[in-house]
Structure 1
Amino acid sequence: MDEAGKKRRLDIQELEEIWNDAYENEAIYKEKTKAFHDKMMSPKVFITGQKVLLYHSRFKINSSKLWSHWVGPFVVTNVFDYGAIKIKSEQAGKIFKVNGHRLKPF
Structure 2
Amino acid sequence: MRPQSCEEERKLQLQELEELSLESYESAMWYKEKTKLWHDKNLGVKELKVGQNVLLFQSKLKLMPGKLKSKWIGPFTIVGLRANGAVEIQGSAPNSIPFLVNGHRVKVFRDNSELCIVDEVPLRALPDIA
Length-normalised TM-score, structure 1: 0.94
Q: Is the counterpart of residue 87 in structure 1 residue 92 in structure 2?
A: no
In the TM superposition, what whole-angstrom CA distance separates every residue of 1:35-87 from its partner, at most 9, and x where no partner exists?
A: 11111111111111110000111101222221111111100011111211100
3-state SS of paired residue (1:97): strand
Q: Is the counterpart of residue 2 in structure 1 residue 4 in structure 2?
A: yes
Shift of 1:94: 2.8
For residues 15 and 96 of structure 1, the distance between their equivalents in structure 2, rounded to whole angstroms, comes to 58
More helix per residue: 1
Q: Which runs of 5+ in 2 are unaligned?
A: 110-130
Q: Percent identity?
A: 42
More strand per residue: 1
Match of 2:102 in 1: 99
RMSD: 1.2
Within a 5 Å distance, the mapping from 1:8-27 to structure 2 comes to 8-27=10-29
For residues 46 and 101 of structure 1, the distance between their equivalents in structure 2, rounded to whole angstroms, comes to 11
Q: Which has the larger radius of gyration?
A: 2
**Which is bigger in relative contact order (C-alpha 8 A, separation at least 6)?**
1
Q: Which runs of 5+ in 1 are unaligned?
A: none
Give the paired residue count: 106
